Structure 1
Amino acid sequence: MGSRHFPARTVLFEREPSGVTYRVPALLYIPCVAKLLAFAEERLSIDDAQANLLVLRQGAFYRNYVEWEDMRALDTATLKHHRSMNPCPVYDEFTGIVFLFFIAVLGKTPEAYQIITGQNAARLCYVSSSDQGQSWSKATDVTQTVIGRSIADWATFALGPGHGIQLKSGRLLLPAYAYHIDCKECFGKLCKTTPHSFTFYSDDHGQSWRFGECIPSLPSVECQMVSVDEEDGSNVLYCNARSPLGFRVQALSMDDGAVFHYGQLVQKLVEPPHGCHGSVIGFPAPLFYTPSSPHSWGRAPWPINGSDCPLLSRKITRHSYLPLSEVAVENPAAMSLGSQLQSHQEPTGSNKPCPSSSHHGTHGAMPSAASCGGQGQPDPGAVSKSTFLFQTPTWVLYSHPTSSRSRVDMGVYLSTFPRDADSWTEPWVIYEGPSAYSDLAYIELPYSEFSATGIPAMAFACLYENGMRSPYEQISFSMFTLYEVIQNIPLKVTSPGLKLLLDKKRRGRSCVIT
């Protein structure tokens, strides 16, 4: 492997000499305008009781360079006498609306006090933007209409933190957790509670919201979700959650988040003491076939004959992106985003208009793929039905501190079959030193910037807390390609297909169609 590789890092939020601290990052990518929205909490000190309001920095994508605007406070994302916490943005591709959900907590009431006493001080609120984050609506408190009487059974609750997702059906999903009151004034204590993750969801583009059932059995706290497509045409909702049990908890839902099956411990994903928030993001897997069996298509973890070289197919549907293309092998300059700082051009995707605000209320009116960064429905005419016997599966990337002893060494892990708790690779450490909360975004890079082949490349952005002595000194932004992830994963890989691909690339053997 040689010397360790770290992606370039840009500090977006930094602790001020006055003690003002920025915590709890959330990251949202809007593909049709190639814009990144980076959110955080502004706190008067590191203490969560000193949280104040939410702040935002907007980033415009110029080739593989992001130009960030100055930080600004989201003054409308507040309730009187409350402090704003846990930013959770989600983008509706049908309407072009960005929703920023958050909790508003009364006064200086810390979460620990609510858990002990069972006196809930949190409200569920949101602001929205129809111009990709330039302006925001006034805050709307939906606690009563969404949670209703159930709030009496919750000692407290919170969102995410970090990004929400939209399913193919149009359903908007927000990750959340609540401390359910098991009993009051029992065993000499004021209250006994257990945390469980769940989702808030909307099937009418944010006009109304409901919440699903919590993950049963194991305690689970801060979480994020991924919609996972599998080769046989099935789909599951995958939840990855913080846990106090020393390992992450994962759970699956077969009905888009309304009900989750029993959670299970993921022993390859360790937690530091008391746990830490982590992020998951899904993306379409690269497709491979073997020369000896050109009609035998499969996802990378399928075993491949040792004499064969996995080939990356050019025959793809609109959702079957190939991040490990000729770009990664034949154009070394495209391997590392951090090594390229291009001169300023028009922002990528700026010529692709987003859905206008006139789409409000037009349920099911989805913008075309061309109008919003290729994120629309697949074009059934792009590839004949006989070309593939399965749908492109979803791979998952996960970011989290890698130590079981403390919040240190931010890493990214890859799973090629996330429903299998043993499918996770060893981590690629992207930052050595104190680090804590993070949020990931998936970015399809335009082919014109990286390859003359017409095949898009794939990248990820990570917004994470870090510092030299404390994890809460800065919130930094890094970008890297899937090629970099695979190239820097330690050699201990359980997936046969992925291991073969790694071995061949490390020996410098080209495994692409020429």
Structure 2
Amino acid sequence: MKQFIAIGILFSLIFFSARVQAQSAAFSDTALLFEPDRDGYTMFHVPALTISAKGTILAFAEGRYGKGKDWDDMDLLMRRSTDGGHTWEPFRVIIPRTKGKPTSNITPVADKNGTIHLLYHVNYANAYYIQSEDEGRTWSAPVDITYVFNGFKTAYDWKVLATGPAHGIQLKSGRLLVPVWLCIPNKNIPGGDHRPSCVATIYSDDHGKTWQRGDIITDNGDIAAGGDTIINPNESIVVQLTDGSIMINMRNESLINRRLISVSPDGISGWSRPHFDMDLFEPVCMASIIRVSGRKHKKSRIIFVNPDSRNNATQIRKRQAVYKPRENVTARISYDEGKTWAAHRSLYPGGSGYSDLAVDKNGMIYCLYEIRDGDDNDWKYRIIMHRFNLEWLTNGKDYFH
């Protein structure tokens, strides 16, 4: 009997040791996916990322010509990985440039049925939709879906439209949801070709065959909960909460320099009065968000990434106090559905910019983000793929289970 007890204790110790080792196996690595000098473009900008139902990772970016500005010519590019990001196929152009009309803001959505949906816009005037049924190897012909944006005209007479950017989501109901922003340009203000602006969503309940508009969530000049004025809400990201509701996290140019939040029961209507999340610094830059786990894993985990330059908040960009340096791209984790953010870690301390996130079935986190060598006047971005797990992000305090 003593022998059996001893053997049992030994196996228990081995199991416990293996489990502790597995929990402490922090992992992080990076790969350069899009490089201007190597790949023949002025710069790369606006990364987007998704993982198919079968696990194929699709990384997208804009390859920009000219000076690399928003209104310059650009190709929409993609790279694929079928082995968890260990190796990547060469980039290829999936939407070639239209001379004199920028083609931008790639917004992919991975469908549980295996389809990859992709939205983008041309010249900030028309929106298009394509799809892939073979893991991104081939894509359908573009379909003009500007009609859904025209549905906003009675409420908001936009002259500029934009999808996303970064990934949209599929809800538990099957609905495809994509955040968008609209603008009635005012040439008398700085950056008036994109300002003032408002934020909304569009959606499809038939796997991309048709698209419909949601409500306008917030507009320039609205008053947030707490009394602060909302200025130029635009590029936004969405995540579904465990109760089924949708949280939208919005870039904005408000003087408080914090991310703007609203919640809807269905992603298209009934949006709560927006409030500023005081934990999430806003340098005025696109950000990314994704759910890592929920009720299935008995722990809610949501990750948020953006350039967190709050330590350099006295510095300004564009000669306006609200624009802070785009640097120190940082990942944060929330265990309470985005109410608070418990832990964070810098992914890249230097000059950085836009990002997008994806998570695979094993809990590996993928973050595609921009970095640069120079200051904020240097827009020669290249794009990095950063893979890491919860152990790395939380310094061993959490692991995927």
* Contact 2:152 2:213 (C-alpha < 8 Å) held by counterparts: no
Q: Which residue of 2 aligns with 1:436?
A: 353
Q: Which residue of 2 aligns with 1:464?
A: 369
Q: Which residue of 1 aligns with 2:259?
A: 248
Counterpart secondary structure, 1:221: coil
Q: Which residue of 1 aligns with 2:18?
A: none
Q: Which residue of 1 aligns with 2:109?
A: 90
Q: Which residue of 2 aligns with 1:223?
A: 236
Q: Which residue of 2 aligns with 1:174?
A: 178
CA distance in 2, matches of 1:51, 1:130: 28
Q: Among residues 31, 51, 59, which one is paired with 1:38 in the alignment? A: 59
| 2:157 is aligned with 1:164 | no
1:270-289 equivalence runs, <5 A: 270-272=281-283, 275-285=284-294
* Contact 1:435 1:471 (C-alpha < 8 Å) held by counterparts: no
* Contact 1:407 1:471 (C-alpha < 8 Å) held by counterparts: no
Counterpart secondary structure, 1:8: strand
Q: Which residue of 1 aligns with 2:117?
A: 99
CA distance in 2, matches of 1:26, 1:235: 24
Identity %: 28
Q: Which residue of 2 aligns with 1:401?
A: 307
Report deviation, 1:417.
Answer: 1.8
State the Cα deviation string for residues 300-328 of structure 1 (Å, max 9, x = none): xxxxxxxxxxxxxxxxxxx623xxxxxxx
What one-letter code is carried by the residue in structure 1 that aligns with 2:364? A
Q: Which residue of 1 aligns with 2:247?
A: 238
Q: Among residues 467, 478, 488, which one is paired with 2:386 in the alignment? A: 478
| 2:45 is aligned with 1:23 | yes
TM-score normalized by the length of structure 1: 0.61
Q: Which deviates more, 411-420 or 168-177? A: 411-420
Report deviation, 1:253.
Answer: 0.5
CA distance in 2, matches of 1:430, 1:201: 32
Counterpart secondary structure, 2:395: helix
What one-letter code is carried by the residue in structure 1 that aligns with 2:309? S
Report the CA distance shift for 1:154/1:87 in structure 2 as closer, same or farther (over 3 A).
same
What one-letter code is carried by the residue in structure 2 that aligns with 1:442? V
Counterpart secondary structure, 1:434: strand
Q: Which residue of 2 aligns with 1:118?
A: none
CA distance in 2, matches of 1:284, 1:194: 36
Report deviation, 1:10.
Answer: 0.4
| 2:334 is aligned with 1:415 | yes
State the Cα deviation string for residues 430-470 of structure 1 (Å, max 9, x = none): 1121000000001122xxxxxxxxxxxx1110000002224
Report deviation, 1:46.
Answer: 2.2
CA distance in 2, matches of 1:464, 1:248: 18
| 2:94 is aligned with 1:74 | yes
Report deviation, 1:23.
Answer: 0.7
Report deviation, 1:145.
Answer: 4.8
CA distance in 2, matches of 1:259, 1:442: 29
CA distance in 2, matches of 1:46, 1:6: 34
Q: Which residue of 2 aligns with 1:52?
A: 74
Q: Which residue of 2 aligns with 1:371?
A: none
Report the CA distance shift for 1:53/1:156 in structure 2 as closer, same or farther (over 3 A).
same
Report the CA distance shift for 1:145/1:200 in structure 2 as closer, same or farther (over 3 A).
closer
Report deviation, 1:80.
Answer: 7.6
Report deviation, 1:236.
Answer: 1.5
Report the CA distance shift for 1:394/1:156 in structure 2 as closer, same or farther (over 3 A).
farther
* Contact 2:148 2:202 (C-alpha < 8 Å) held by counterparts: no
Q: Among residues 263, 269, 272, which one is paired with 1:258 in the alignment? A: 269
* Contact 1:464 1:476 (C-alpha < 8 Å) held by counterparts: yes
State the Cα deviation string for residues 228-285 of structure 1 (Å, max 9, x = none): 00xxxx322011111112111011011233332111111211122xx00000001224
Counterpart secondary structure, 1:212: strand
CA distance in 2, matches of 1:148, 1:142: 11
Which fold has the larger relative contact order, with Cα–Cα distance below 8 Å and residues 6 or more apart in sequence?
A: 1
Report the CA distance shift for 1:417/1:149 in structure 2 as closer, same or farther (over 3 A).
closer
Report deviation, 1:418.
Answer: 3.2
Please, which runs of 5 or more residues in structure 1 have no aligned partner? 106-120, 286-318, 322-391, 446-457, 489-501, 506-510
Report the CA distance shift for 1:179/1:443 in structure 2 as closer, same or farther (over 3 A).
same
CA distance in 1, matches of 2:99, 2:145: 15
Report the CA distance shift for 1:6/1:400 in structure 2 as closer, same or farther (over 3 A).
farther
Alignment coverage as a number of residue pairs: 342
* Contact 2:302 2:338 (C-alpha < 8 Å) held by counterparts: no
1:51-450 equivalence runs, <5 A: 51-61=73-83, 65-75=85-95, 82-94=101-113, 96-105=114-123, 121-148=124-151, 150=153, 153-180=157-184, 194-216=196-218, 217=222, 218-219=230-231, 220-229=233-242, 234-245=243-254, 246-272=257-283, 275-285=284-294, 320-321=296-297, 392=298, 394-404=300-310, 405-420=324-339, 423-445=340-362
Report deviation, 1:82.
Answer: 3.1
CA distance in 2, matches of 1:256, 1:439: 20
Q: Which residue of 2 aligns with 1:11?
A: 32
CA RMSD of aligned residues (A): 2.9
Report deviation, 1:471.
Answer: 6.0
State the Cα deviation string for residues 378-433 of structure 1 (Å, max 9, x = none): xxxxxxxxxxxxxx46421001011034111111011112352xx02353001121
State the Cα deviation string for residues 460-506 of structure 1 (Å, max 9, x = none): 10000002224643100011111211117xxxxxxxxxxxxx4xx8x
What one-letter code is carried by the residue in structure 1 that aligns with 2:119? F
